[in-house]
Amino acid sequence: MDKKEFCVLIKYCFLKGKNSVEEKTWLDVDFQDTAPGKSTIKDWYAKFRHGEMSTEDGKRSERPKEVVTDENIKKIHKMILNDRKLKLDETADTLKISTECVHHIIHEYLVMRKLCAKWLPRELTFDQNQRRVDDSEQCLKMFKCIKPECLRRYVTMDEIWRHHFTPKSNRKSCQWTAHDEPVPKR
């Protein structure tokens, strides 16, 4: 039997004057495996006592707003591409949706994961090398202009490249990557 048919039987027993305990024992005898639970029967009895005799379920609120839309997927993807170290909470707060939905969109639709960077030796990029050359040329010009004063203030450096910011833990260096992207480096 389905739920609607059980509701009709519960209403019949209510109108006959049986209480919910008698109703439950009667249904358990005749419908052992499919009988509704005690709390369900009590809920229907309470509904009938308040004068609502319909066996239909009450109207429920609308389905929750769907947040997995193309618009939200594009927004999240753009946010991640702008800042790979973006946290789920920050994204959820910005878009006013739950962190679970953001997590679902990132993992299922964007097929991205968060990876912690590993320490690897780094070579300077072309831009970084060019900046070093430009800075060195500027220092050389300054040195030629005011040689004695410059020697007193000039500090030389070795060939080690130093970071301006080094995260305290691996967790802080996590960033979102697609499955086909290489592992990020620190």
pLDDT in tens, 49-86: 888 888 777 666 665 668 888 999 999 999 988 888 88
CATH class of 3-49: mainly alpha
- Please tell me the distance from the alpha carbon of residue 61 to that of residue 64, in angstroms, as a whole number: 8
- Helix or strand holding residue 177 (H, E): strand 175-178
pLDDT of 4? 81
107 CB contacts (<8 Å, ≥6 apart)?
A: 113
Question: What pLDDT sits at residue 61?
Answer: 62
Q: How many CA atoms lie within 13 A of 59 on its CB side?
A: 2
Q: Are 86 and 79 in contact (CB under 8 A)?
A: yes
Question: What class does CATH assign to 70-119+171-178?
Answer: mainly alpha
pLDDT category, 94, cuts 50, 70, 90? very high
Q: What is the mean pLDDT of the chain?
A: 80
Q: Find the mean pLDDT for residues 144-163.
A: 65
How much is the pLDDT for 162? 54
Domain boundaries, the chain: 3-49, 70-119+171-178, 126-160
Q: CA–CA separation, 88 vs 102, rounded Å?
A: 7
Q: Find all residues with CB under 8 Å of 113, minimum gap 6, and list them.
A: 107, 176, 177, 179
One-letter amino acid identity for 72?
Answer: N
Q: Is residue 122 predicted with pLDDT exceeding 80?
A: no
Question: Does residue 110 contact residue 77 with C-beta atoms inside 8 Å?
Answer: yes
For residues 52 and 112, give the distance between their C-alpha atoms in angstroms, rounded to a whole number.
51
Does the pTM surpass 0.75? The reply is no
